[in-house]
Structure 1
Amino acid sequence: MVRPRWQGLKPSPSRKFWQRWDQVLALIAAINLSWILFDVTYIPLRNFWLHRNLYLLPSTSLMVPLPWVPNVTPFYDVVKGIKPHRDTQIYIKHFSQLDQTAARQGINSPASQQLRLNQVELTTQLIDENPFVSSGNVGTLEKLKSLLRARAGMDSSKQAAAHLLGNKYLNNLDWQQERLFWTEKILPLIATNYWRSINENGQPVDYAWRLDTPFQLLFLLDILLRAMRLKRRFPGISWREALLRRWIDLPLLLPFWRLLRVVPVTERLSSAGLIQLEPLRAVISRGVVALLALELFEVLTLRIVDAMQEIIRSPHLPQRIRSLCSHQSVDKNEERELTELLRLWLPLILSEVGPSMRPQLLALFSHALQRSMDGVIVPAPLKGLTVIEKAESELSRQLAAGMIDTFLQLSRNAGDQLGRKDMVLEQLGVDTIDRFWEELARTLEQGPVLERSQELMVAFLEEFKRSSFRQLREQGGVNELISELDGLNFSEAKTTSQKQESGNKITL
């Protein structure tokens, strides 16, 4: 019993399993790609992950705090081989000691004064040595110096640091308010500095491959399983061809150029039905196909016209015409296409098409005979008489009918004769065609017509080539072609929807 079309074929349990497997692997590939993007951008965006502050404009101080974003730097710095820089850590620890001493004994106590002097020395040393070079944050020091100069209103950052931590400045201010400048502006900048380990190859240490290896092994297993499924479905295919069918998954196995994984991940998500890329693919392919179609048409037209011009310019044109003879252009074992085509079409035209046109041919010949008899059979003074005009019209109609009937009878007889398989008639037809090409070639060789004919035909083709390309340029490019396709598609969809609505109304 034939299954009705509206009853879908239920997938087998194994098919459901592999469908779920593909969806899970697609999600895992998407997770892996997300981690790759995070890993590649971690070093440039480390300051963001450290402070979780989003600057709307790099050149301004407009900042949006994101406290809900987790601080991943303590964990991921280990993956990238990042360690705290010794000089900046000493600076941060010393300031923390100063802050604690000031909280217990006061900012003007002897212990606090000594710690402030040490902090000024550390600031001067920090400005002179610039430890931010090792982490690539050269601009951080310049930003720190700008904050110190702006806070103290001085041109020298070293003098500004000594002034901000000096007795004269702090005697008139509350330390609890002043410390906010250091803890919220200066120390976060210093905390961005780090030191990165170097391996034996002279490259920065990066242990991301340890996290990526399980993903790569899983992807390799999936590729082998896909090849096995394809091999089971098509036993004739080789293992090499089955593996090459998954060439798009190669970036998933490469430890370098990892951003190329966006291609296989997108393909897996689309094939698993998790995302819909068909509209985007249709738009892109339509634009590419339209562009290639125009370029290809121009190239083909140019090549064909140039080839025809070369053939016409050739001094061997008569020999090429002579080569059209059937005994030179058709092999012995092949059918003579032109002769067979004429044998099929001539009987059809003579015995079927011609007799069907008898009324039109009769009217045409009758009118032509009546025009030719004007002033010849009937004298001019008698032309105005109605009886004479009717007699003349009837005479021309009868003569035309006799001629047409005789001609159509001959046409039917000739068509019947040509429709029969006649080897003598076929050979005579072939000889006639061969003789025509031979005489045409001989005539062109003997007379002065060849050179002039070549010039005229080449000029005609050149003008045809130029006018064709000019017309293509005037019609517009790819955008106009795509707009025309959109108009056809949308108008067809609109017409279909209108028909459906009208049908629904009639049904109601």
Structure 2
Amino acid sequence: MSLQKYSSPKLLKRRKNLWFERFMAIAAVTNLALVTFDLTYVPWRNFWLQGGIGIPLTNFKLHIPVPTIACRDRSVETGQPSRTIQQPVVTCLYDPIKGIEPHRDTQAYLDTVAQLESQLAQKGLEAGLKDIAVQDTLAKLRKLSTEMIETNPFGASGKSGALERIKNRIRSRVASRTNTRISAREAFNIFWSTDNPSYPNYLSPTTWNAEIDWFNQAIQPLIQTNYYRGVDENGNPTNHFWLLDAPFILLFFLEFLARTYHISRRYSNLTWLDAMIWRWYDIPLFIPFSLIAPTWALLRVLPTTLRLHQAEMINLENIQSRAREGFVSAIASEMVEVIIVQVINQAQGSIQRGELTNFLQRTTSRRYVDVNNINEIEAIATHMTHMMVHEVFPKIQPDLEALVRHSIETVMNQSPAYRGLQAIPGIGAVPAQITETLVHDVTQLIHNSLKTALDDPKTADLVVRFVRNFSSSFIQEAQQNNLQEMQSLLTDLLEEIKINYVQNLSEEDITLILDETRQLRQEAT
């Protein structure tokens, strides 16, 4: 029996639906994470490139190890043999998606520095620093440094701040050794020289290792942050993210069609379009925002959150409850005011149009619609009367007799003659017996009379004629005495109620009312 319980078709279907909901929820979370990563990749590229987060205005930098892989160097000119360089795995894989490649000028600068290190490693420091090829490389670095300062290749990528930091650091480094204040251009000329007239032997066998280590730690990472990013035919920065987003868009679009079709088939009063409107919040999942407005893809937060809730992976009941209360508190006051004012205005208009008298006659300006050819007021009165006589009266008759008996005895006990009669031996109990019989006979007579009257068709006709004559007489007298003054007074009364009620309603704190309502609901449960 237990096995049947857990393997019932209904439960299996529910589990299958839950697993499908969770799969789609995970797909939505994955897509949202990918969208967020894409939007933040360019601003955070320095982190993925160097694995470090620096705190502004301080020298502190948190280093996080980022794995590297052999990546093809896309800065190499076409026609030259390709080469591979070690690069962080994230930038190696995602730079092509954003159309990013190393900037030709800054990459040439770093390649020249690497060439200089290779030359000195091959020839040795003593002989290498005097070698003509090394001197040519140093001269090239001085020229490239001047061009870098003058042309600012960092501007196109929005990294001009990196160039300013490079200039400040090189000035500070050279000034710490020369004890002079110089420009960044002069500082680079001194840094990449062995026989500068202002400071000979800046680079020497004894200083080379310290200077090149400082350069690789302080300057090279800043130069590496620069990049070149192409533009598409519309003049926008290259972005191939749609290639990654397209499979998710196709998945969610097909799922949207299948889900809404299933809903329309399940509920016969819903069309396919109605079902699509019902699931409107899924639409951002398959709109190709990456092609039109990439930042709008963050709208997928809403359907993703709802899918996680539907898949029972998170619980939004409390949030939904608070959101509903906030919505109610925001519009409740205005809504109630509008409804009350509209009802009172309608009542005032009806009274001013004389519909009060017409209602009594059932001859209003609009034809009175009777849905069942029955006078409901007379039928309700007859039903209530029969219930009181045949059902209620027999049940309350003992209590009624006790009440009448007590009343009679109270009145008779105040009589001296009655008290004297009770004192006579042998007949003292007779008055009480007479009272008991009288009370019973009177109540029974009343009950029988009412039953007889109700069962008598003539009595019913007389009652109906009485009610009709009473209504017609009241209406005639009302018309003869003119209800204008009464209508005016009723209109003024409703106006006062409207003003005072709306004012009091505006002074009410809706939040406190909602809190009180919530407490009452908790007490009831």
Q: Is the 8 A contact 1:287 1:478 kept in 2?
A: no
Q: Which has the larger radius of gyration?
A: 2
3-state SS, counterpart of residue 331 of structure 1: coil
- For residues 407-426 of structure 1, the aligned pairs below 5 Å read 407-416=446-455, 424=461
Shift of 1:81: 1.5
Shift of 1:38: 2.0
More deviation, 459-468/63-72: 459-468
Select the residue among 79, 96, 120 that pairs with 2:114.
96
Deviations 1:312-365 (A, max 9, x none): 544844722123236437435533322222222222123323443335445555
Q: Is the 8 A contact 1:81 1:206 kept in 2?
A: yes
Gaps of 5+ in 1: 493-508
Counterpart of 1:50 in structure 2: which amino acid? L
Provide the rounded CA distance (Å) in 2 between the counterparts of 1:433 and 1:49. 94
Are the structure 2 counterparts of residues 234 and 190 from structure 1 closer, same or farther at C-alpha, using a change threshold of 3 Å? same
Provide the rounded CA distance (Å) in 2 between the counterparts of 1:463 and 1:12. 57
Shift of 1:92: 1.3
Determine the structure 2 residue equivalent to 1:131.
153
Are the structure 2 counterparts of residues 439 and 114 from structure 1 closer, same or farther at C-alpha, using a change threshold of 3 Å? farther
Shift of 1:189: 0.9
In the alignment, structure 1 residue 62 sits paired with structure 2 residue 100 = no
Determine the structure 2 residue equivalent to 1:323.
358
Shift of 1:473: 1.9
Are the structure 2 counterparts of residues 482 and 124 from structure 1 closer, same or farther at C-alpha, using a change threshold of 3 Å? farther
Q: Is the 8 A contact 2:453 2:459 kept in 1?
A: no
Q: Is the 8 A contact 1:120 1:161 kept in 2?
A: yes
Q: Is the 8 A contact 1:339 1:426 kept in 2?
A: no
Determine the structure 1 residue equivalent to 2:85.
none
Q: Is the 8 A contact 1:231 1:238 kept in 2?
A: yes
Determine the structure 2 residue equivalent to 1:445.
482
- For residues 88-237 of structure 1, the aligned pairs below 5 Å read 88-103=106-121, 104-106=123-125, 108-109=129-130, 111=132, 112=134, 115-151=137-173, 152=175, 154=181, 156-165=183-192, 167=194, 168=199, 169-170=202-203, 174-226=207-259
Provide the rounded CA distance (Å) in 1 between the counterparts of 2:278 and 2:216. 59
In the alignment, structure 1 residue 473 sits paired with structure 2 residue 493 = no
The number of residues matched between the two structures is: 477
Shift of 1:183: 0.8
Deviations 1:376-419 (A, max 9, x none): x569xx9999979x9999999887666655444444444555xx
Gaps of 5+ in 2: 68-87, 290-295
Determine the structure 2 residue equivalent to 1:309.
344
Are the structure 2 counterparts of residues 440 and 200 from structure 1 closer, same or farther at C-alpha, using a change threshold of 3 Å? farther
Provide the rounded CA distance (Å) in 1 between the counterparts of 2:380 and 2:237. 78
Are the structure 2 counterparts of residues 77 and 230 from structure 1 closer, same or farther at C-alpha, using a change threshold of 3 Å? same
Are the structure 2 counterparts of residues 343 and 359 from structure 1 closer, same or farther at C-alpha, using a change threshold of 3 Å? same
More deviation, 360-369/43-52: 360-369
Are the structure 2 counterparts of residues 228 and 378 from structure 1 closer, same or farther at C-alpha, using a change threshold of 3 Å? same
Are the structure 2 counterparts of residues 133 and 410 from structure 1 closer, same or farther at C-alpha, using a change threshold of 3 Å? farther
Identity %: 26
Are the structure 2 counterparts of residues 433 and 61 from structure 1 closer, same or farther at C-alpha, using a change threshold of 3 Å? farther
3-state SS, counterpart of residue 67 of structure 1: coil
Q: Is the 8 A contact 2:352 2:488 kept in 1?
A: no
Q: Is the 8 A contact 1:88 1:191 kept in 2?
A: yes
Counterpart of 2:321 in structure 1: which amino acid? R
In the alignment, structure 1 residue 350 sits paired with structure 2 residue 385 = no
- For residues 253-292 of structure 1, the aligned pairs below 5 Å read 253-256=286-289, 257-271=296-310, 273=311, 275-277=312-314, 279-280=315-316, 282-292=317-327
Q: Is the 8 A contact 1:148 1:161 kept in 2?
A: yes
Are the structure 2 counterparts of residues 22 and 481 from structure 1 closer, same or farther at C-alpha, using a change threshold of 3 Å? closer
Shift of 1:449: 4.4
Deviations 1:13-52 (A, max 9, x none): 9998887666555544443333222222221111111112
Provide the rounded CA distance (Å) in 1 between the counterparts of 2:431 and 2:390. 31
Select the residue among 91, 101, 104 that pairs with 1:73.
91
Provide the rounded CA distance (Å) in 2 between the counterparts of 1:360 and 1:13. 62
Determine the structure 1 residue equivalent to 2:34.
35
Shift of 1:198: 1.7
Are the structure 2 counterparts of residues 447 and 234 from structure 1 closer, same or farther at C-alpha, using a change threshold of 3 Å? closer
Q: Is the 8 A contact 2:422 2:431 kept in 1?
A: no
Determine the structure 2 residue equivalent to 1:428.
465
Provide the rounded CA distance (Å) in 1 between the counterparts of 2:398 and 2:3. 53
3-state SS, counterpart of residue 344 of structure 2: helix
Provide the rounded CA distance (Å) in 1 between the counterparts of 2:492 and 2:265. 65
Provide the rounded CA distance (Å) in 1 between the counterparts of 2:341 and 2:511. 23
Provide the rounded CA distance (Å) in 1 between the counterparts of 2:151 and 2:97. 28
